[in-house]
Structure 1
Amino acid sequence: MSKPILYSAWTSSCSSRVRIALALKKIDYEYHTVDIKTEEEMREFAMTNPAKKIPILKINGLVLTESLAIIEYLDEVYPDPPLLPKDAGERAHARAIAFHIASNIQPLQNKAIIHKLNEKVPGYGAEVMDQRRHLPWLRSPGRASEDVLWEYCVGDQITIADLNLPSIVYNATDKYNVDITPYPLICKINKTLSEIPEFQASEPARQPDAPKKI
């Protein structure tokens, strides 16, 4: 059977979640860089995914899209270690945090959204990006997450919720200079995750297409 192929980009939050899942599941895969800034490559990429979005995971003869769907597939087919709690209530809780981050926070950090806003109203995208560095856009969703996070995101095991957290913190702190110290629980959990080898291996700066430090 051929090695799985992950279409990814080091800057992609959605790809980051899948990289962590693959690492935790000990699945060896081929990393295929997609330059999301290159129009020609994106046209070719659209032949694989008409939505022109990453990640895409080719595995077991399938072409899978949407990061959370990919993660759940991996968890069903490769159940060790589990990424969803056994308890139904905790499973719902983990999914709720994952969906909250993926649907309510990450889109507001997406530069493609800024470009679309600029197309409608010149300069408006830059205004929105500036707002995201401050209180209303990142911190308000962050407060919602702060209210629901536990020792990890849910209880005492790594779940699908935890796979979503590091990239959002990275975007807030490294891209937009947001001060997240008002959220000590998020900071604590993110620090715990950052010390886990599989999370370290999936960090943006460690990806083969990331800019090399001189």
Structure 2
Amino acid sequence: MASSGAEKLKLYSYCKSSCSHRVRIALSLKGIEYEYIGVNPLMRDELVKINPMGAVPALVDGDVVISDSLAIIMYLDEKYPQPPLLPRDLHKRSVNYQAASIVLSGIQPYQNTPVARYIEEKSNAEVKTAWVNNALTKGFTALEKLLVGCTGRYATGDEVYLADLFLAPQIHAAINRFQINMEPYPTLAKCYESYNHLPAFQNAVPEKQPDTPASPPSDPVPP
């Protein structure tokens, strides 16, 4: 469903931000046309005018400004209900909420660059690495146990739902940024392999965004 006949939505994003990554998947799944505004994580003065936290993503829909990935995704799901991002089955719906929450509050904040940099400054690189690995291991172990009995091709069956939008960027970051071995998490690995065959997911990866640098950047990764 394209947003024809109206001003395009604007997405303030950064290619390597996993929070932005989730929103890009949602927009792609729903076929929504939008303007991509790449944000340099070292130059956030303009972004603060949109989002007081100075973080991405931020979605602008006319006079409506939303600056949290979950809030953005739920807004999009209500405004553009097809395809739905939550199943009708209440149990599966609750699993989707739980999986999203584990990523949103139990993993991503602990691996966030400002947090990791602070830990390294107060200790050393080894402690920082151990901190990030602990968050990923704890979170992925919880997700594996949560999803092992309800997966199909994707997290909660054979349709893409909210949990998948949170899992895909988190696993992508774990593998590509933190070199996490996925062998202990076969359920998550199976889901991730399925995402690799979906254009909506592949079009949203960091490597395919307009602000992707030509060479590996040395700048930090925002939320």
**Same fold per superposition (TM over 0.5):** yes
Q: What is the correspondence of 1:27-46 to structure 2 with a 5 Å cutoff?
A: 27-36=32-41, 38=42, 41-46=43-48
Distance in 2 between the 1:133 and 1:47 partners?
A: 31
Aligned: 1:79 with 2:84: no
State the SS of the aligned residue for 2:31: coil
Q: What is the correspondence of 1:44-193 to structure 2 with a 5 Å cutoff?
A: 44-118=46-120, 121=122, 123-124=123-124, 126-132=125-131, 134=133, 136-149=134-147, 150-151=151-152, 152-193=154-195
Tell me which amino acid in the other structure corresponds to 2:115: I
How far is the alpha carbon of 1:127 from its aligned partner?
3.4
How far is the alpha carbon of 1:116 from its aligned partner?
3.1
- The structure with higher relative contact order (CA 8 Å, sep 6+) is 2
Structure 2 segments unaligned to the other structure (5+ residues): 1-5, 217-223
How far is the alpha carbon of 1:156 from its aligned partner?
2.2
Greater Cα offset, 141-150 or 3-12: 141-150
Distance in 2 between the 1:6 and 1:54 partners?
A: 9
Aligned: 1:20 with 2:22: no
State the SS of the aligned residue for 1:47: helix
With normalisation by structure 1, the TM-score equals: 0.90
Cα RMSD for the two superposed structures: 1.7
Structure 1 segments unaligned to the other structure (5+ residues): none
Greater Cα offset, 52-61 or 64-73: 52-61
With normalisation by structure 2, the TM-score equals: 0.87
Q: Percent same amino acid among aligned pairs?
A: 39
State the SS of the aligned residue for 1:57: strand
Partners of 2:111 and 2:132 within 8 A in 1: no
Distance in 2 between the 1:51 and 1:116 partners?
A: 18
